[in-house]
Chains A and B, each alone.
Chain A
């Protein structure tokens, strides 16, 4: 908990909820008749509304990207390293919007919400979302906020996929796209990891085909396994070696199956924490959105053709030890953009932290991000808010 709010923090923030009752037709063909989006904003929107930045969150993220909800919070928002006064996404210059995506479990309409047609929670009946559905809903939020054009749309991992989708779905509505530790589509290996995670949840006897809320149970064990698997794929071999090595909790082998190595108890802790805060149906749905994302599919599997629709400038960033969203995947995006003659810069940041690196304060990463966002400000509104 912060005794004092740090100077470079956006401070105490309060989420807002926006209700929509215009039906949203989804990629699956299903329709959401009405829904809520919960979001936070940081900084001030300028007079000509040219300084807005949209943050797209990843698998387990939410609307709370920066600052604190109360003085009792143990930690700030999930991307506090990059959003705040004087930080890369400088809230002295930009008006930042961060929302929880549909299907989430942090306040936007999702599996835990009440389905108005049945009066019960949606549970597994909540429609499977596609990245483009999120982008459509984000565009509606932009309409409500009076933002015609984003100075930048920014996101890492699954968030980066939303950024790519924005650039081709609403090419006139963003000036810059920042795509971090992402990919133009998942590899078979990546889909396989997601399937193992989903199976861990689905096979938990407390899952009840997703109707656990009705049954008054929680598939904690399944969600915990899913998270443990996910979490370890976000780390690198080096990072784990440095952080845990082969250290034993009690300094000796106990010849038991209880967690003995530090790395085991760390994973248990991460899984445990996640299983109580996150909804299993949301996890299932988010991983499906990841698997389905493949924008080139509609363009003869030609990513260049797909991205040639974009009109914005791009920054693409990857991290050397990220094997879940490897640099080579980012380079596919970069090369397609070059072949389509788009403005793009690309940096591959040296880091031991695997996929998690995009959330960490790595000096070179922050420098590049900072430099690029300064350019975003200069090109979008002359640099001053």
Chain B
């Protein structure tokens, strides 16, 4: 098995063997494929990119063509152990409603997203007066799929308002590496956050 993407290797630690997984925006099915082999989980991925969907099928992963913006009403309450969504929260129409849906379907959820409060982003806007661009956020303001950017604090406030409990949180750099300096001041120095949440 080739090496797992760093963010996925953080996520997989929080997933129990033999559990039921739903991966929203599952890409080529790397996580599901890994979890099936290593932890014997059963699950489905949702994907709308045609090439990625075909890759999932080639990888033997259960994949369903479904747009997250059209809701998840076809999944039943608390039918999934862990609902995972990597780097898609900021790109959906209503992140708040999707979070609710994730925790309606799933007993737990794992979400990753880029931190708009990262120090370079803050300075980019402050000094250049333009919408920040970086390796993590490579798009122009007008063509970006990231329509709902937030900071770690924004996300945590939303969780508090919604009565969502944060079980685990890991903050990493753009290569998904953990570093002592990030732990010092995550809201400023972290580029990507991985949150493990529940409503239970």
Contacts and interface: CB of A to CB of B under 8 A. Distances in A.
A70 interface: no
Given A331-B74, A364-B50, A338 B64 contact: yes
Contacts of B42: 341, 343
Contacts of B76: 339
Contact of B57 (A335, A338, A345): A345
A85 to B, nearest CB: 20
Interface string B136-166: 0000000000000000000000000000000
B22 to A, nearest CB: 9
A375 interface: yes
Given A368-B53, A371-B54, A372-B57, A346 B75 contact: no
B54 A334 contact: no
A375 B42 CA distance: 17
Nearest to B56: A345
Contacts of A229: none
Contacts, number: 49
A341 B61 CA distance: 14
Size class of B's contact patch?
20 to 34
Nearest to A335: B74
A372 B61 CA distance: 10
Given A344-B62, A345-B63, A338 B75 contact: yes
B79 A339 contact: yes
A338 B50 contact: no
Contacts of A344: 44, 62, 64
A375 B74 contact: no
Contacts of A347: 53, 57, 65
A345 B57 CA distance: 7
Interface secondary structure of B, over-half rule: mixed
A344 B54 CA distance: 13
Nearest to B55: A371
Q: Which of B55, B64, B75, B76 has the most CB of A within 10 A?
A: B64
B58 interface: yes
Interface residues of A, number: 22
A375 B62 contact: no
Contacts of A364: 50, 54
Q: Is the interface of A mostly helix, strand, loop or mixed?
A: helix
Interface string B58-79: 1011111110000000111001
Given A338-B44, A339-B76, A339-B79, A368 B54 contact: yes
A343 B42 CA distance: 8
A348 B65 contact: yes
Contact of A375 (B53, B58, B75): B58
A374 interface: yes
A343 B74 contact: no
Q: Please indicate which of the listed interface residues A347, A348, A374 has the most CB atoms of chain B within 10 Å of its own CB.
A: A347
A88 to B, nearest CB: 12
26 contacts: A331-B74, A335-B74, A338-B44, A338-B64, A338-B74, A338-B75, A339-B79, A341-B20, A343-B62, A344-B44, A344-B64, A345-B56, A345-B57, A345-B63, A346-B63, A346-B64, A346-B66, A347-B65, A364-B54, A368-B54, A371-B54, A371-B55, A374-B58, A375-B58, A375-B60, A378-B60
A-B pairs with lowest CB-CB distance, top 9: A371-B58, A371-B57, A335-B74, A346-B64, A347-B65, A345-B63, A348-B65, A367-B54, A375-B60
Interface of A: 315, 331, 334-335, 338-339, 341, 343-348, 364, 367-368, 371-372, 374-375, 378-379
Given A338-B75, A343-B42, A346-B63, 7 more contacts: A334-B64, A338-B44, A344-B44, A345-B64, A347-B53, A364-B54, A372-B57
